[in-house]
Structure 1
Amino acid sequence: MEWITITVDEKKRQVPANLSILEACRESHIQIPTLCHDPELTDSGACRLCMVEVEGARGLVASCSTKVQKGMVIRTNTPEVREARRTILELMIANHDIDCLTCEKMGNCELAQYAYEYGVKKDVFQGQKREDEIDDSNPFILRDLNKCILCGKCVRACSEIQVNNVLGYVNRGFESRVGPAFNLPYGKSECVFCGTCLAVCPVGALTEKKMIAGGRPWELKKVRTTCPFCGTGCGFDLNVRDGKIVGVTTDASAPVNGRFLCVKGRFGIDLVHSPERLTTPLIRKNNELVEAEWDEALELIASKFKEIKNKYGADSLGALSSARCTNEDNYVMQKFMRVVIGTNNVDHCARVCHAPSVAGLATSFGSGAMTNSIKEIPDSKVIFAIGTNATEAHPIIGTKIKQAVRNGCRLIVVDPRRIELVNHAELWLRLKPGTDIALINGIMQIILAHGWEDKAFIEERTTGFENLRELLREYTPDKVSKITGVPEEQLYRAAEIYACAERAQIFYTLGITEHTHGTDNVMSLANLAMLTGNVGKENSGVNPLRGQNNVQGGCDMGALPNVYPGYQQVTDPGVRRKFEGAWGVTLSAQKGYMIPDMFEASLAGQLKAMYIMGEDPATTDADSNHVRRGLQALDFLVVQDIFLTETAKLADVVLPGASFAEKTGTFTNTERRVQMVNQAIDPVGNAKADWKIICDLAAIMGHHFDYEAPAEIMKEISSLTPQYAGIRHERLGIKGMQWPVFGEDHEGTPYLHKDKFTRGKGLFMPIEAAYAKEMPDEEYPLLLSTGRKLQHYNVSTLYSASLFEHAPEELAEVNPLDAEKLGIKDGEIVAVASRRGEIRSRIVVTDKVLPGMVFMTFHYKDAPANFITSGACDKVSGTYEYKVCAVKIKKIEE
């Protein structure tokens, strides 16, 4: 970096040569006012408030858009400069609605701050005021153009950060306005309500509706925490007043997202104060759930668990831990099952989403986690996105992928559905659902045929290559094209783009894992990365985007039937002795039941009781009617949650847990970043933190887990879990740490497998193409695939009043050709049926889906897609095949 000498306010300063005057001055702690500048946006010079004197220049210059030069002499606070700034402020106020005393932004308004600083006390010019109607057309944002100063920060943030390009300028001069195309109301535009415009608006033109009634800035306590929805791991501040959360604000210091969020993270936290929250224990009496005291509920659970264990054995009980709960909660739950009950029958929802990632990547690389960091994405050269609808399922990551494309990245999208990323892709491979292995094998065959493989990497860092080479001979482009429906020329282009890049990244989610061959899909992607040497360096790797906020942490904590914390095998005698020594008990060497096995065992009379924390399998698991039958066959069911879910309604005892806002602990996001979750409010009603409930139950059953606080639980975790060895609450701060953290002097690991794989040499696995268990036929001629939508996350966000108002019902996607054949129209309600049952849903007719395909989400209670999805599972991981099953659509006659 080149450094130059400039003079600012009579003092010489050394500054980097690539800075603007404004940036150089701020680095030297010299404050220059500005209303349009933002360090994360391009400079527009729109407000002119940052003007300074530069010796030799004609007049004043805008410091935000003028680069420093060697020997430049700058004056930032002369009488002339201050008078110019004052006049600019007076001109702004001439068109501004001056209702500062009642403005929602009072106390946090940059225009008011500068007016005070420069002595602007009244409307000097008596200018014409705007008289625009307030835009109240959506549940989240209030837009008052009478207060807009046309700084353009919202326009640039929408296009440069979110890459949505919804906002722009309309008209000219006094009639100039900022808003969606044709000055449409927000509610009728293509706005996705990420709230980025809110985050950058310096005045009261854009305000959050809920925050308006929440209080003024000086009345709020801000508590930094981690988002409870998807696995991206965004950080934000909970704004608290009088013991209630009144809103969310963001800060540039958040390591994953900075100031930017999606609609769920910014506006969906109202679910914490939903009137449907559980606030006291419930016990089933006379077939009804009635309120009870904690002592009564816990004593009942303890006695029933002991009775069942004594009569049928420890393996007659099972538990589901939770990807929604903290690492500390999950650690204590799996410890409870292994120490107090004496079984490895513990699992969680990783089983129904990314268990194939854990199994597949552990086989190929030795570690079943995302290899690289989210911060690398914008600088990527090539991204291969397969089976991932990132802009809806992981919106901040989707945004960063779009930023990468804007920065010159070449994007390949592999998806049967036209997702948003297709609009930004250089190449879209629209494969037939379930043909991923054939596609990947075909691409690798082309790479080998052209000599594009990384021979040195293969030789030095892998094993099993010849077996893969032999398998790939039969996957010719012609054959693969016929299997997948992808034209041969697109296969060639994809192979060349990916293989010939200096560095290339693979991103995938449930479109890869939720198949009966999900683990094979994952290992095929690992083969592709190793074949081209795209592992073990920045901007490369294989990156599963984990689903829920703490599904990575749930796996790390050993909430799985075959491993202790840190993926240490329960069947390994040495590992077992280690945990027996730490926990003071003899542990079972028998692998436990996976989730699908639990329901089968229940129906077979082998599993008699379950303890379910923070999961709703009656709604979220495939073939839900089968799951319900399994739950109903139990002798005793305990559910611990924050809402009376469909699963909780079946329980014998329901325990009210605390939400993320009501407890302290950690979440581990998709990039292995362990981050703090800090308690902002007291638990509602008589609810308790999940770890505390489990400890109280353990004590009644004769085992004392002596933790005074979650920080003590993390100390025990780090003492037993190699990846977490150096992690302590006090070390995490606001940035968190990416495991593995090998000791207290280690700072974490941004990317994995730098010099060698965790398993030593990477293992090529020759994978034959496999196909879905259930395909369309004459009786059920359509293929159903499920996924997420931007506005919701699983079923929990339905308890957010604002999110539910914004997206209140299921909209099943049907291709126009199928709609015409079936005689159904856009907006009609139809019956969607499979061999397992029937549900009703409104449809939207769209070419986003292929002919013969139907797409639904699984968010809505009134259209529970998992009632009809297939219960077929991946042979290795037990993950359900949510992505392919056969259905038919019937028109509902009035």
Structure 2
Amino acid sequence: RTCERVLPISALGLVGRGFKTEMRPAMNDALQDTNCVSCGNCIDACPVGALTPKYAFQGRACLDTQDQLTHCGFCSVGCEVKVRRFGAASYYTTSNDVAGDYLCRYGRFGSELMIQSERLRAPRERDGHNHNPLALDEAVTRVVENLRAVARKHGPEAVGVFVSPEVTNEEMYLAARIAREGLGTGNIGSLAVLSGAGRSGAMDPVLGLTASTADRSCLATADLIICNNTAMESDHLVLNVDVIAPVRDGGAKLIVVNSTLDPADLHLGTLTVDPLRGRASYFWNAVLQELLDSGDLKAEGLAGATEFLANRDGGDSELAAAKAGVQMEQIQQAADLVRGARNIVVVHGVDRPQDAAAGDLEIFANLVALLEASERKAEILMPRQLANSAGLEVMGADPAFVWGKVAAPELPGAHDSQQLRALLESGSLRGALIIGENPLEHDRPGSWFQNIEFLATMDWAETETTRFADIALPGSTYLETAGTRCNFEGRVLDYTAPVEAPAGLPGDAILRQMAEEFGIEVPTELTEHLREATADRLGDRVAFYWNTGQERRRPQAARLVPVSLEARAASIQPALTHTQRYRKEIREVGTERFRVRH
């Protein structure tokens, strides 16, 4: 039954009859020949304890464990997990023992990544091809002095601070202040987001926010669910359970638009569309035009309607179908499904580069505004592959915003993500601090640092970037760093650090020391300070970005905006963080090597 809830077709079944009936892989096939996704939820559901996890360390003895709850840091769903420790480096993650709370393969078995990686345990400096150890105080002082020297020599616009979208809010906050207050530059952002052509505040002009407009509970009452640019089964398996239930049990319709379709998409989708990569916005723009032409949606009366209608790039539906690489009938079918629905939820992968298309966020925001104006209910959910990318703008780790998503002041350097990407591509950066990202392993992002004179990095494992850096500082994983992250619903999640960092200090403590070396005053109880003050700075947007139980109310009336379409294939995003690389390896190699063969 658990397998049936997680997957559209169960990988397990009953084999044999009578007293010889056994629970086995469906049709008695080998497990790797079924549609098993190695999520391990059958371990929790087994009533006789016949299934156990395979540990990422030596030993399987039944020993007492120290158990502590925290949250997963592999994606933005942020499932609660229990960490069971046998010792300093002997631990594994499992579910929280709450019935109906599931984990995906990464949440359950992903601790092997932290245990088996070559850890960076102490600060060091590079001397040619050699690395020499440094005391932490000396390493931090040298980083500050060298970054300041580069800023004085080439100007603040020639230095930048780049932070992984998987670190805590506290680390993002400190990194942003180091960039703006310590170095006087607006060059602050995430390389992982920038390499995927991320945009600052794309939906802000329409809805007043670029975030999920509801939490996942809205899926339960939807009569139409639209999944665009998100492979739910492989990217967000636990959220996919909430999509499967109303479709299979409640009669909701499902539209899936993705260039790669999972088994769940093909089995449950009312309409599945596989457009050319980077062209889905042509498809949805044509669907929107069909609804406007038929009078099912009316722009009149909404703010911005005159400019929106005058600059519509709807064009001919047949031409749009050709540009998107879809059938004309699919555009009409999608329009009919939207036309017949009263409660629509759009699930869009905002940081997934595979099928990202120019203008897609603006089109969905316009669609939601038009649907609500026609007295229908419409919401957007924005699950993210990167665990805390929702926190970047809130914590000010974005060129366009300071802490609290307040418009950033004019500083030398970039003023939004697009400008920062252009600055990187120009090769004009001369000094950088990179936190938790590995651009030098890949040609394209590596070329952004070809003219670098000083590079400092902080990471929890060895990478090409830590080996090349002039000074490398040890970081910590999501299991080793206490603090907060924001999930895709905008909820604030607490992380409890059940495992001690091998370096002895978590990453936020080292960044705090660096900020203070720059002369920046940091609150003593930073987490509590952020918890209270961030809500005040966000004002009426707090429920969407920093939700601790607040009711969601849109901060402004919707305003339609014209959208310019561009036929451009989405680039292949390199894996710049450890979890990105881990997930990519599993997707490309397959999960057979993680399964037990029969």
Q: TM-score, normalised by structure 2?
A: 0.89
- Give the letter aligned to residue 256 of structure 2: V
Match of 1:294 among 124, 129, 136: 136
- Give the letter aligned to residue 566 of structure 2: A
Could you tell me which residue of structure 2 aligns to residue 145 of structure 1?
none
Contact 2:486 2:545 in 1 (8 A): no
Give structure 2 stretches of 5+ with no counterpart. Answer: none
Separation of aligned partners in 2, 1:608 and 1:592: 19
Contact 2:228 2:347 in 1 (8 A): yes
Note the C-alpha offset of 1:474. Answer: 5.3
Match of 2:581 among 795, 803, 809: 795
- Residue 786 to residue 590, structure 1, CA distance change in 2 (3 Å): closer
Could you tell me which residue of structure 2 aligns to residue 475 of structure 1?
315
Could you tell me which residue of structure 2 aligns to residue 763 of structure 1?
559
Could you tell me which residue of structure 2 aligns to residue 442 of structure 1?
286
Counterpart secondary structure, 1:205: coil
Separation of aligned partners in 2, 1:440 and 1:418: 18
Contact 2:351 2:385 in 1 (8 A): no
Per-residue Cα deviation, 1:787-828 (whole angstroms, up to 9, x for no partner): 99xxx941145899x99894679xxxxxxxxxxxxxxxxxxx
Does residue 1:414 correspond to 2:248, yes or no? no
Could you tell me which residue of structure 2 aligns to residue 14 of structure 1?
none
- Residue 214 to residue 280, structure 1, CA distance change in 2 (3 Å): farther
Could you tell me which residue of structure 1 aligns to residue 127 of structure 2?
285
Separation of aligned partners in 1, 2:12 and 2:355: 39
Q: 1:303-318, aligned counterparts within 5 Å?
A: 303-318=145-160
Separation of aligned partners in 1, 2:194 and 2:389: 10
Counterpart secondary structure, 1:631: coil
Contact 2:215 2:489 in 1 (8 A): yes
Q: 1:88-103, aligned counterparts within 5 Å?
A: none
- Residue 244 to residue 400, structure 1, CA distance change in 2 (3 Å): same
Could you tell me which residue of structure 2 aligns to residue 638 of structure 1?
456
Could you tell me which residue of structure 2 aligns to residue 202 of structure 1?
47
Per-residue Cα deviation, 1:741-761 (whole angstroms, up to 9, x for no partner): 5xxxx8323x552xxxx3x33
Give structure 1 stretches of 5+ with no counterpart. Answer: 1-155, 573-586, 726-736, 775-783, 810-894
State the percentage of identical aligned residues: 23
Separation of aligned partners in 1, 2:337 and 2:113: 44
Q: TM-score, normalised by structure 1?
A: 0.61
Could you tell me which residue of structure 2 aligns to residue 350 of structure 1?
193
Separation of aligned partners in 2, 1:209 and 1:286: 41
Separation of aligned partners in 1, 2:472 and 2:376: 48
Counterpart secondary structure, 1:445: helix
- Residue 492 to residue 591, structure 1, CA distance change in 2 (3 Å): closer
- Residue 290 to residue 184, structure 1, CA distance change in 2 (3 Å): farther
Does residue 1:262 correspond to 2:94, yes or no? no
Counterpart secondary structure, 2:448: helix
Note the C-alpha offset of 1:362. Answer: 1.0
- Give the letter aligned to residue 158 of structure 1: C
Does residue 1:656 correspond to 2:509, yes or no? no
- Residue 210 to residue 434, structure 1, CA distance change in 2 (3 Å): closer
Could you tell me which residue of structure 1 aligns to residue 381 of structure 2?
543
- Residue 259 to residue 441, structure 1, CA distance change in 2 (3 Å): closer
Q: 1:881-892, aligned counterparts within 5 Å?
A: none
CA RMSD of aligned residues (A): 3.3
Separation of aligned partners in 2, 1:595 and 1:403: 42
Contact 1:380 1:505 in 2 (8 A): yes
- Residue 717 to residue 490, structure 1, CA distance change in 2 (3 Å): closer
Note the C-alpha offset of 1:692. Answer: 1.2
Note the C-alpha offset of 1:510. Answer: 5.3
Contact 2:213 2:380 in 1 (8 A): yes
Note the C-alpha offset of 1:413. Answer: 1.3
Does residue 1:528 correspond to 2:367, yes or no? yes
- Give the letter aligned to residue 747 of structure 1: G
Note the C-alpha offset of 1:514. Answer: 6.4
Could you tell me which residue of structure 2 aligns to residue 596 of structure 1?
421
Per-residue Cα deviation, 1:246-301 (whole angstroms, up to 9, x for no partner): 222213659xxx52011111011122222501111121013322332212312221
Note the C-alpha offset of 1:723. Answer: 6.5
Note the C-alpha offset of 1:312. Answer: 2.9
Note the C-alpha offset of 1:548. Answer: 0.8
Note the C-alpha offset of 1:664. Answer: 0.8
Separation of aligned partners in 2, 1:511 and 1:547: 7
Contact 1:438 1:475 in 2 (8 A): no
Counterpart secondary structure, 1:660: coil
Could you tell me which residue of structure 1 aligns to residue 513 of structure 2?
696
The higher-RCO structure (CA 8 Å, 6+ apart) is: 2
- Residue 512 to residue 521, structure 1, CA distance change in 2 (3 Å): farther
Q: 1:172-251, aligned counterparts within 5 Å?
A: 172-210=17-55, 213=59, 216=62, 219-251=64-96
- Residue 537 to residue 268, structure 1, CA distance change in 2 (3 Å): farther
Separation of aligned partners in 1, 2:122 and 2:375: 50
Per-residue Cα deviation, 1:518-550 (whole angstroms, up to 9, x for no partner): 3x2211122222222289987x31222222111
Note the C-alpha offset of 1:786. Answer: 6.5
- Residue 517 to residue 501, structure 1, CA distance change in 2 (3 Å): closer
Separation of aligned partners in 1, 2:375 and 2:495: 30
Separation of aligned partners in 2, 1:661 and 1:270: 12
Separation of aligned partners in 2, 1:341 and 1:785: 32
Counterpart secondary structure, 1:504: strand
Contact 1:441 1:475 in 2 (8 A): no
Note the C-alpha offset of 1:366. Answer: 0.9
- Residue 799 to residue 687, structure 1, CA distance change in 2 (3 Å): farther
Per-residue Cα deviation, 1:82-106 (whole angstroms, up to 9, x for no partner): xxxxxxxxxxxxxxxxxxxxxxxxx
Separation of aligned partners in 2, 1:353 and 1:213: 41
Separation of aligned partners in 2, 1:693 and 1:401: 41
Larger deviation: 369-378 or 698-707? Answer: 698-707
- Residue 608 to residue 251, structure 1, CA distance change in 2 (3 Å): same
Separation of aligned partners in 2, 1:367 and 1:479: 32
Could you tell me which residue of structure 2 aligns to residue 609 of structure 1?
431
- Give the letter aligned to residue 27 of structure 2: F
Separation of aligned partners in 2, 1:163 and 1:448: 35
Contact 2:278 2:356 in 1 (8 A): no
Per-residue Cα deviation, 1:435-466 (whole angstroms, up to 9, x for no partner): 3232222212221232222x4xx556x32224
- Give the letter aligned to residue 400 of structure 1: D
Does residue 1:747 correspond to 2:585, yes or no? no
Per-residue Cα deviation, 1:330-376 (whole angstroms, up to 9, x for no partner): 111101221222222111133344733x5321121110111121232
Q: 1:437-586, aligned counterparts within 5 Å?
A: 437-453=281-297, 455=298, 458=299, 462-472=302-312, 475-509=315-349, 518=358, 520-533=359-372, 540-571=378-409
Separation of aligned partners in 1, 2:261 and 2:273: 10
- Residue 712 to residue 786, structure 1, CA distance change in 2 (3 Å): closer
- Give the letter aligned to residue 395 of structure 1: L
Contact 1:229 1:549 in 2 (8 A): yes
If you compute each CA radius of gyration, which structure gives the higher value, 1 or 2? 1
- Residue 799 to residue 484, structure 1, CA distance change in 2 (3 Å): closer
Contact 1:238 1:248 in 2 (8 A): yes
- Residue 393 to residue 793, structure 1, CA distance change in 2 (3 Å): farther
Q: 1:139-154, aligned counterparts within 5 Å?
A: none
Contact 1:699 1:705 in 2 (8 A): yes
- Give the letter aligned to residue 658 of structure 1: S
Aligned residues: 587
Separation of aligned partners in 2, 1:515 and 1:191: 25
- Residue 796 to residue 293, structure 1, CA distance change in 2 (3 Å): farther
Could you tell me which residue of structure 2 aligns to residue 627 of structure 1?
445
